[in-house]
Chain A
Amino acid sequence: MGVDTQARRPQSPSSGREGSSRVMRLLNWLKEFFTLVPAQDLRPDPHSGEGRYVRSFLVMRLFIGFIGVLLPFALVFIDHWWFHGYPWPRGSESIYYYSGMREVFTVSIGTIAFFMFAYKITERNLDNTLSFFAGLAGILIVLFPTAPPALIQKGFTTPTNPVPPGLTPLQKSLTEPTTHTIHQFTSGAFILFLGLLRSRSEFAKDSARNATTTRASDRHSGARTTGAWRCSCSRPVVGSCSP
C-alpha cells in the first residue's frame, strides 16, 4: 500500500505560523461582520451630489416602510372586497400567494427583500450581516411558495375562492413539501433577522443618545473637542442608519 509521505510530513514551524496567521486574518475579517456600527457622522449638504444620493436612499427606505405597513392590510382587505376571496381572512400572509393578491404579495416581499439584501452591502458590520441574511431569506420566501390550500379547507364547507391553481414547475420539480419546508424556514428567518436588525438599531440609537449626552455635558464643562462638537451637531440624525 502506497503511503503519501509528503502529506503526512509534519509541518515546519514557519508554515505552521503562516497557517495560523492566515486563520487569524480570516477570523479578524469575519469579526468585522459582527461589529456594531459606530455613531454616524454629519450628513452631507442635501443639495450636494452626495446629499442627493443620501436623500434618494432615504426615500427608498421610506417606501420600504410604507410597503411593510400597508402589506398586511392590503392582502386581507383587497382580497376580500375586490376579489371576493374565501375564506376571509386566510390563514397566513404566505397563503395569499394563491389568491388574487399573488402579485402584490410576491412583488412586495421581493422588493423589501432586495432592498434589505443591498441595504448595507458595502459595509462590514452587524447591520450588514443581519440585513443581508434577512434579504436572502426574503428572496427565498417568494422563490419557494408555501403549500397550496385545500379545495375545501378544514373547518369550512364552502370551496376556497379562487380555486388553488396547479403546482408551479419548481414545486413539481422539488416536490411541494420541500418547497413548503424551505418557505417556512425562510419565513422564520426573515422575521428573526428583521427583528434583530430592528433591535440592534434601537440599541444603537440609545447608545448614541447616551454618548451624545455625555459629550454635550463635557462641552458644557469646557471640554469641547472637534469630535464632540460634530457629534452634538449631528444629534438630530444620530441613530438612524446612513448609507
Chain B
Amino acid sequence: MALLMLAAGGWILFTMKIFKGPYWSLLVGEGTCAFAFGASWTAKGAEWRYLFGGSTPEEKTARAALASRPT
C-alpha cells in the first residue's frame, strides 16, 4: 500500500509538472492515495477476534504467564 501511495504521488507530480495529463489526473492520484491509505488502515484495524473480545490460546497463555510473574 505504501508503494501504491508512492506511485500515486509520482503520478500527481508527473501529470502536473512534466506531462500534462487529462484534467482528472489529479483526482485519480488523490483518490488512489486516499484509497491506499484507507485500505491499509482497514487491514490494520481489522483484528476481528480481538475487536469482538477474543484471544488466541497463545495470547491467553502469555497473559497468564505475565500475571503469575512476581513483580
Contacts and interface: CB of A to CB of B under 8 A. Distances in A.
A234 B50 CA distance: 12
A61 to B, nearest CB: 4
A47 B44 CA distance: 21
Interface residues of B, number: 43
B41 A65 contact: yes
Interface stretch (A10-18, A26-34, A90-98): A90-98
Nearest to B25: A91
B16 to A, nearest CB: 10
Given A61-B44, A62-B42, A195-B33, A42 B59 contact: yes
Nearest to A48: B63
A68 B5 contact: no
Contacts, number: 142
B24 A91 contact: yes
A199 interface: yes
Contacts of B12: 191
Given A69-B35, A70-B38, A198 B45 contact: no
Contacts of B37: 65, 68, 194, 198
Contact of B35 (A61, A68, A234): A68
Contact of B62 (A67, A72, A202, A233): A233
A59 B37 CA distance: 16
Interface in B1-41: 1-2, 5-6, 8-9, 12, 23-24, 26-27, 30-41
A64 B45 CA distance: 9
Nearest to B69: A226
A43 interface: yes
A46 B33 contact: no
A237 interface: yes
Interface string A58-85: 1101101111111111001000000000
B62 A42 contact: yes
Given A65-B42, A192-B9, A229-B65, 14 more contacts: A42-B62, A42-B63, A55-B50, A64-B41, A65-B38, A68-B35, A68-B37, A76-B31, A91-B23, A93-B27, A194-B33, A229-B62, A234-B62, A237-B50
The 8 closest A-B pairs by CB, nearest first: A68-B38, A65-B42, A65-B41, A72-B31, A233-B62, A62-B45, A69-B38, A61-B45
